[in-house]
Structure 1
Amino acid sequence: MMSKAAEIDIASVSKVYGATTAVHAISLKIPAGSYCCFLGPSGCGKTSTLRMIAGHESISTGDIRLGNTVVTDFPPAKRGTAMMFQSYALFPHLDLIDNVAFSLKMKGVGKDERRAKALEMLKLMQMEAYASRRPAQLSGGQQQRVALARALITDPEALLLDEPLSALDPFLKIRMRAELKKLQKTLGITFVHVTHSQEEAMALADMIVVMNEGKIEQAAAPRQLFERPATAFVARFMGDHNVLSGRVVSAEGGVITLKVPEGQTFSVRGEGRKVGDPVDIGIRTDRVRLERPAEKTLGFHGVVSNIEYRGASVKITAVGAGSDDFTVIASDGDYFAKPVSIGDAVSLSWTLEDAVLLGRP
Structure 2
Amino acid sequence: MTSGADIELVQLTKRYGPALAVDGVTLKIPGGTYCCLLGPSGCGKTTTLRMIAGHESVSEGDVRLGPTVVTDLAPAKRGTAMMFQSYALFPHLDTVDNVAFSLKMKGVDKATRRAKAMEMLKLVHMDHLAERRPSQLSGGQQQRVALARALITDPQALLLDEPLSALDPFLKIRVRQELKRLQLQLGISFIHVTHSQEEAMALSDLVVVMNGGRIEQAATPREVFNRPATAFVARFMGDHNVIAGRVTRKDGGRIMFEVPGGAAFVVPESLPAEVGQPIEIAVRTDRVHIADTGGIATGCGLTGLVQNIEYHGQKVQVALSAPGVDEFSVQVPETAFFAKPLSVGDAVPLAWTADDVHMLHASPSA
Fold agreement, TM-score > 0.5: yes
Identity %: 64
Shift, 1:324, TM fit: 3.3
Shift, 1:308, TM fit: 1.2
Letter aligned with residue 321 of structure 2: V
1:233-248 equivalences under 5 Å are: 233-248=232-247
Shift, 1:151, TM fit: 0.3
Match of 1:144 in 2: 143
Q: How far, CA to CA, are the matches of 1:117 and 1:17 in structure 2?
A: 40
1:10–1:28 Cα contact (<8 Å) kept: yes
> What is the SS of the residue equivalent to 1:28?
strand
Match of 2:12 in 1: 13
- For structure 2, the 5+ residue unaligned runs are none
Match of 1:355 in 2: 357
Q: Bigger CA drift: 311-320 or 55-64?
A: 311-320
1:23–1:214 Cα contact (<8 Å) kept: yes
1:282–1:358 Cα contact (<8 Å) kept: yes
Shift, 1:107, TM fit: 1.1
Q: How far, CA to CA, are the matches of 2:254 and 2:35 in structure 1?
A: 35
Match of 2:109 in 1: 110
Letter aligned with residue 288 of structure 1: V
Shift, 1:323, TM fit: 3.0
Q: How big is each residue's C-alpha offset from its partner over 1:101-127, in whole Å with a ceiling of 9 and x where there is no partner?
A: 111111111111111100110111111
2:4–2:156 Cα contact (<8 Å) kept: yes
Shift, 1:294, TM fit: 3.0
Q: How far, CA to CA, are the matches of 1:344 and 1:89 in structure 2?
A: 54
Are residues 252 and 321 of structure 1, via their aligned partners in 2, closer, same or farther at CA, if it must alter by over 3 Å? same
Does residue 177 of structure 2 align to residue 174 of structure 1?
A: no
> What is the SS of the residue equivalent to 2:289?
coil
Match of 2:273 in 1: 273
Q: How big is each residue's C-alpha offset from its partner over 1:154-174, in whole Å with a ceiling of 9 and x where there is no partner?
A: 000000000000000000001
Shift, 1:297, TM fit: 6.6
Match of 1:316 in 2: 318
Q: How big is each residue's C-alpha offset from its partner over 1:265-319, in whole Å with a ceiling of 9 and x where there is no partner?
A: 1111124100000110000110001224434671111111111111111111111
Match of 1:325 in 2: 327
Q: How far, CA to CA, are the matches of 1:346 and 1:247 in structure 2?
A: 25
Letter aligned with residue 306 of structure 2: V
1:297–1:349 Cα contact (<8 Å) kept: no
Q: How far, CA to CA, are the matches of 1:6 and 1:322 in structure 2?
A: 49
Shift, 1:252, TM fit: 2.8
Match of 1:211 in 2: 210
Q: How big is each residue's C-alpha offset from its partner over 1:23-48, in whole Å with a ceiling of 9 and x where there is no partner?
A: 00010000110000000000000000
Letter aligned with residue 326 of structure 2: D
1:300–1:321 Cα contact (<8 Å) kept: no
Letter aligned with residue 194 of structure 1: V
Match of 1:120 in 2: 119
2:209–2:217 Cα contact (<8 Å) kept: yes
Q: How far, CA to CA, are the matches of 1:92 and 1:307 in structure 2?
A: 49
Q: How far, CA to CA, are the matches of 1:257 and 1:91 in structure 2?
A: 63
Match of 1:187 in 2: 186
The alignment's C-alpha RMSD in Å is 1.1
> What is the SS of the residue equivalent to 1:94?
coil
TM-score under structure 2 normalisation?
Answer: 0.96
2:13–2:21 Cα contact (<8 Å) kept: yes
> What is the SS of the residue equivalent to 2:290?
coil
Shift, 1:253, TM fit: 2.1
> What is the SS of the residue equivalent to 2:276?
coil
Does residue 292 of structure 2 align to residue 282 of structure 1?
A: no
> What is the SS of the residue equivalent to 1:150?
helix
TM-score under structure 1 normalisation?
Answer: 0.98
Q: Bigger CA drift: 299-308 or 22-31?
A: 299-308
1:244–1:321 Cα contact (<8 Å) kept: no
2:81–2:151 Cα contact (<8 Å) kept: yes
Does residue 62 of structure 2 align to residue 60 of structure 1?
A: no
Shift, 1:203, TM fit: 0.3
Q: How big is each residue's C-alpha offset from its partner over 1:188-232, in whole Å with a ceiling of 9 and x where there is no partner?
A: 000000000000000000000000000100000011111110000
Shift, 1:322, TM fit: 2.4
2:296–2:349 Cα contact (<8 Å) kept: no
